[in-house]
Amino acid sequence: MEYTTILYEKSEGIGTITLNRPKSMNALNSTLLSELGRVFLTEIAKDDEVKVVIVTGSDKFFAAGADITEIANLAAPTDAYKFLQDADIFRKLEDFDKPIIAVIRGLALGGGCELAMACDLRIAAENAVFGQPEIRIGVIPGGGGTQRLPRLIGVTKAKELLYTGDNIDAQEAYRLGLVNKIVPVESAMDEARKMASKIARQPGVALRATKLSVNGGMSMDMRSAMAYEARCFEILFSTEDQKEGMKAFVEKRKPEFKDR
């Protein structure tokens, strides 16, 4: 498939999506959001060779936010509603059944921060900057910022950032639990590929079950979540990989998973 605002490649079980609107600092417009949806839902979802996805930008900016030149022209709530239908790709990424790693170098503001938070794991370069500055232009985050940020860093700190529109650097993001690790800018992609390769070696069905169990359980009470986890656990006993994994453990050898 051809894309105009993103680049996509795959290698050794890893799909890599690079946001590619350099002149606008990867600002998220309708086209980019639509192409994200297309690459995930019509290409990667159907490709069994891809087990893990990396989403990244350039060395200086992941995504500087939504494209204000586009959304400033939204004249009514119905127009804003239509724009948010494209931003619904963030929810679809969160529910996507393959692990997604965001590699954040430079700015991840507004919609860029929301995109990063919709991914499963976040590797921040030392120059990464995070923030939800929407309040400064008279709106609130519309792609999950008021919902995912409190769940990731806690309600009190999230409210501070949302109310003030202040940014935080990579060190503060790590301290708050927003990112998994901080690495030098020049090694960020290598670190992501190393992590992705480790994940890609795991049995695919169990990977999907793990993500389903975590995401599904987060919206349930503990009793219901434990029951949901149990069902996910039980289903895996119908897979070849479960039998191979346990047999290999008993035989003290490396398992040969087939993702089925």
Q: Which of 179, 87, 164 is nearest to 129 (CA)?
A: 179
And the tokens for 126? Answer: 């030392």
SS3 3: coil
Catalytic member of 43, 70, 134, 229: 134
d(CA 229, CA 224): 9
DSSP 14: E
Catalytic member of 2, 43, 114, 160: 114
Crossing angle for the helix pair 77-87 and 30-38, to the nearest 10 degrees: 40
Residue 114 designated active-site: yes
CA 50 to chain centre: 16
And the tokens for 55? Answer: 């989403």
d(CA 66, CA 134): 10
Crossing angle for the helix pair 145-153 and 111-118, to the nearest 10 degrees: 60
Residue 191 designated active-site: no
And the tokens for 160? Answer: 């501070």
Active site residue ranges: 114, 134
